Amino acid sequence: MPSTQEFRRRIKSVNNTKQITKAMEMVASVKMQKAVRTIHEARTYVQNSWNMLVRLANTTLPENHLLLKPVEINRTAVIFVTSDRGLCGSYNADLYKKLVNYCSSVSENLKNSSQTSSSNNSKTPSVDVDIIAIGRKGADFVRRHNVGNLVAVYDGFENDIDFEDIIPISKMTNGEYLNGKYDKVVVMYSNFITSLRQAPVVKQILPIDKDHIDIEDIWENLETDKEDIEYKIEPNSDQVLEKLLRRFIRLQIFGAVLEANASEHSSRMVAMKNASDNSDNLIEELTLTYNTIRQNGITSEIAEITAGAEAMA
């Protein structure tokens, strides 16, 4: 059985780890509160911009704008938002599963399309997935497991997130889409619901469609404008919509990164709290075992002293 000295070292080691996890929990809590305030402000702005876009899109034809025009899906780009660091519970693992399932569904659609094309004696479409990773953890996962084609990697936005930081990603996706490289662009991230609940979601951002948001109850606390109001638009709706579309795409990516940022800090806070609680339980168990061994040693020493005294008598 291990000695009491070894148990003292283990108790000290666990206690030092607990101090680290407790400090990380407090830091993550502060960052989460700041991130949550930011997304609550941004959600209203994103929703209002969405309402404006829907109104403008209803006044024109989708064929007049390339970003609205539906096309046959042959190649898809996924903006995959994860973290740069670990120690955040199942945050990244849930996103990995979502990505694998999404790529599997794309492969299944390819298989069904191939069967249909074969029956119609037409050309078989080639469906593929390119991944634009935001966060080193997601990029490493794609490299290790060969999920899709990793075409670009951006560092995660763990602390302050500026709208300008999204411009390179937005320009890349818009440009490749307009050039015909991609027929569909989606963003995959963890949607913040509560500090204890986050859900990985997929949102289609190109081509823009009024039914493209695949999130349950994401706007349940927001008031949507359902009034049928007629607006006068100058110079005309087509020109205004053309200017708005690219900004809207950038805003959608920005909103997804904000949601992911809050989810990451929340997951890390909960993970570190669980680690601290487990440290308390482990210290309690080690202390109990330590005291038991120490008591047994004292009892043995007393018995030996008593036996020796009786032998001398």
Higher-scoring residue by pLDDT: 141, 157: 141
R_g over Cα of the chain: 28
- The per-residue pLDDT for range 199-221, each reduced to its tens digit, is 999 988 888 765 544 334 333 44
- Residue type, position 263, single letter: S
Q: Which residue, chain included where needed, has tokens 């805003």?
A: 251
DSSP 8-state symbol, 125: P
- In what side-by-side order are the strands of the sheet with 197-206? 149-154, 128-134, 75-81, 184-194, 197-206, 213-214
Element (H, E) at 187: strand 184-194
Instruction: Give the least confident one: 14-23, 74-83, 129-138, 219-228.
Output: 219-228
Segment among 59-63, 93-97, 128-132 with least mean pLDDT: 59-63
Helix locations, the chain, DSSP H: 4-57, 91-119, 136-145, 167-178, 237-312
Record the pTM: 0.79
pLDDT, mean of residues 16-22: 92
* CA dist., res. 271 & res. 198, Å (int): 13
Distance of CA 230 to the CA centre of its chain: 39
Contact 149, 160 (CB under 8 A): no
pLDDT at 94: 94
pLDDT in tens, 228-285: 556 666 776 677 777 777 788 888 888 889 999 999 999 999 999 999 999 999 999 9
Are 28 and 138 contacting, i.e. CB atoms less than 8 angstroms apart? no
